[in-house]
Structure 1
Amino acid sequence: MSESRFNIDASPWDLSTFKGRLKYFLWVTDPRLCLANDKTLEDAKNFRNLYRLGQEPNNTKLEDVMRAKQLYESAFHPDTGEKQNVFGRMCFQVPGGMAITGVMLSFYRTNTAIVFWQWINQSFNAIVNYTNRNANSPLTETQMGIAYGSATAAACFTAIKLKSFLAKRSGPFLQRYIPFAAVAAANCVNIPLMRQNEILKGVDILDENGNKVGTSKVAAVKGISQVILSRIVMCAPGMLLLPIIMERLCNKSQWIRKNTWFHASFQTFGVGCFLLFMVPTACAIFPQISSIKVSILKKVEPSSYAEILKTSKDNEPVVVFYNKGL
């Protein structure tokens, strides 16, 4: 490597802009990354550590450094450095989300199907939410169980009630939107409950140099709210547009209308196409390392502000930073 070394801890794109974040998440949520085996991931982690110490092998190329960085950041938690469950990684959102969402869009006509597939979906969401939490606020098994059960119940209740309401007041077309309403409602329950300790105890807030200067519940609420919105945006295009496409195809083609097996296949493929772009887009809406003005904390969270003053002494920061999760 040349004397001008690449900063492996920094992003090659400007993460303060949406365009920069989009490029980064297109890179790090590539679904092919979830195929990397444990040895490949551990090798990438070891290479990254050696490079940080300046002890990488001779003739190391920039492409080697970037590949190790990509693998590491796709699979290891940014707070703890622990390898994440493959089903909870953002690079698994396309294959996992397309399979579950495609089925939910196709099988929503009976209460049994609604309950079963919402349970499957919330099981998947619970893994994703736990995997991408702010790891400085761990949950007990009881808290995780309550979060999981509550989100599943919320999704099923919303879907069944909406189905009953629409069955009396509308045709079959609007009933195609039941899965989206259930998913949106469940996200509003699952994510806050899965990350409840962040709300109750606050998240670590850091100065511009990465030094901890306190904790903040307001920052936690802000970050979790952004994650909820991002998750809804992530699934919205596929779940809102595919019912329209499917309805028009059924109206135009008698073969499609009769061969219902095609519906699930087509919608699953369609969801995958949408998620391929919507996963990085939704992740890029808000910075993962978010900021909040100290002046806001001074007004709405005096205890956090006092902690900042005590820690920073004469160098009170203008803004502080925290990991909002994904």
Structure 2
Amino acid sequence: MAATESAITETEALPVERVNLNEPKWDQSTYVGRAKHFFTVTNPMNLLLSSKDLDEAKQIVTTYKQGLDLPGVDFEALWRAKYQYDSAFHPDTGEKMFLIGRMSAQVPMNMTITGCMMTFYKTTPAVLFWQWINQSFNAIVNYTNRSGDSPIPVSQLGLSYCLATGGAITTAMSLNSLVKRAPPLVGRLVPFAAVAAANCINIPMMRMREIRCGIPVFDEDGNRIGDSQTAAKLAITQVVFSRVAMASPGMVIPTFIMNKLDKGTFLKRYPWANAPIQVGIVGLFSLAVSSLESELQEEMKKRGLNGDRVYFNKGL
């Protein structure tokens, strides 16, 4: 009995394998793993956490990363603290981020703003107000999530905000005047066109430094070759396209649904339901080496790096 108790004690005393809190909890090579990570990162329930809850989560994560003991904290509690911490604190500066600029605010904020843009799109004051609200929210998100290593200057953020807001409003107002005699369905698509136009202005402006200086490119083994302006331009083009594509389901599908409802009696009987219904409905890429700047192609030859393609992070 004594020997058994001794063996149990020794087993319990063995150090538990530590986890890397700098990596996601789930395997990112699978779709399910990426989906679980994404849904956890953007969980709106994290917005309800108090400052005390967030500070406790930060303390748990900080203590664990320092290699110190955490009595009474199991792995589930550890992972929960990690995602709560990540949801509120800037990864570079460690500062607590502004509430509506956090990733956990993206779903409720975008649902509300998009739904209202698509509901109140007919009058000039409504168009001005909701396009301004949308671009103001985008500016807050961009500022809150700016890089800590090479932050975007406030002047550039301000210029991008003004140009994107102006572009969105101009597009919306111009199209509204053009589609007055068009079917109602066409008019309902105007907010989507305005958002697409704003993205085409905002993203290149925000990443102007990358266009001028380039972004890092790597060979297939992860060796950094240098900074490429060609890769930067391709990355920004892809981001603009993906941003517009991501907005499509939430701004196009509800358009057809609401247009159908408009023809029925439900909204005539309950006109107040228009906005709530609208609100409710609502990586790494590669580049051919031959497309790189000549100096980077020469750099690859000098370093004996082979391969037909290089890789870069296009950003979000």
**Above 0.5 in TM-score?**
yes
Equivalent-residue separation in structure 1 for 2:142 and 2:224 (angstroms): 24
- 8 Å CA contact retained: 2:231, 2:292: no
Amino acid at match of 2:70: P
Give the structure 1 partner of residue 255 of structure 2: 243
Give the structure 2 partner of residue 23 of structure 1: 36
1:93 pairs with 2:106: yes
Amino acid at match of 2:57: A
Give the structure 2 partner of residue 202 of structure 1: 214
- 8 Å CA contact retained: 1:137, 1:203: no
- 8 Å CA contact retained: 1:250, 1:256: yes
Equivalent-residue separation in structure 2 for 1:3 and 1:82 (angstroms): 30
- 8 Å CA contact retained: 2:57, 2:82: yes
Amino acid at match of 1:241: I
Displacement, 1:262?
A: 1.6
Displacement, 1:299?
A: 4.2
Equivalent-residue separation in structure 1 for 2:224 and 2:93 (angstroms): 15
- 8 Å CA contact retained: 1:214, 1:308: no
CA separation of 1:94 and 1:107: change in aligned 2, threshold 3 A: same
Displacement, 1:151?
A: 0.4
- 8 Å CA contact retained: 2:118, 2:251: yes
Displacement, 1:65?
A: 1.5
CA separation of 1:117 and 1:197: change in aligned 2, threshold 3 A: same
Equivalent-residue separation in structure 1 for 2:80 and 2:160 (angstroms): 36
- 8 Å CA contact retained: 2:219, 2:305: no
Given the alignment, which residue of 123, 129, 133 partners 2:142? 129
CA separation of 1:107 and 1:299: change in aligned 2, threshold 3 A: closer
- 8 Å CA contact retained: 1:77, 1:83: yes
1:13 pairs with 2:23: no
- The percent of aligned pairs where both chains have the same amino acid is 44
Structure 2 unaligned segments of length 5 or more: list them. Answer: 1-13
Displacement, 1:309?
A: 8.3
Equivalent-residue separation in structure 2 for 1:209 and 1:125 (angstroms): 36
Give the structure 1 partner of residue 8 of structure 2: none
1:301 pairs with 2:293: yes
- 8 Å CA contact retained: 1:47, 1:56: no
1:225 pairs with 2:217: no
User: The residue matched to 1:77 in structure 2 has which SS?
Assistant: coil
Give the structure 1 partner of residue 280 of structure 2: 269
Farther-moved stretch of structure 1 (47-56 vs 80-89) = 80-89
Equivalent-residue separation in structure 2 for 1:66 and 1:307 (angstroms): 43
- TM-score norm. by structure 1 comes to 0.79
Structure 1 unaligned segments of length 5 or more: list them. Answer: 272-286
Give the structure 2 partner of residue 279 of structure 1: none
Given the alignment, which residue of 167, 175, 183 partners 1:171? 183
Give the structure 1 partner of residue 3 of structure 2: none
Amino acid at match of 2:240: I
**Structure 1 segment 68-87 matched on structure 2, within 5 A:** 68-87=81-100
User: The residue matched to 2:17 in structure 1 has which SS?
Assistant: coil
- 8 Å CA contact retained: 2:131, 2:169: yes
Q: Which has the higher contact order (CA 8 A, sep 6+)?
A: 1
**Cα-Cα RMSD:** 3.1
Q: Residue by residue, what CA displacement relative to the aligned partner does 1:76-111 show, whole Å, maximum 9, x if unpaired?
A: 334444433222222111111111111111111122
Amino acid at match of 1:130: Y
Q: Which has the larger radius of gyration?
A: 2
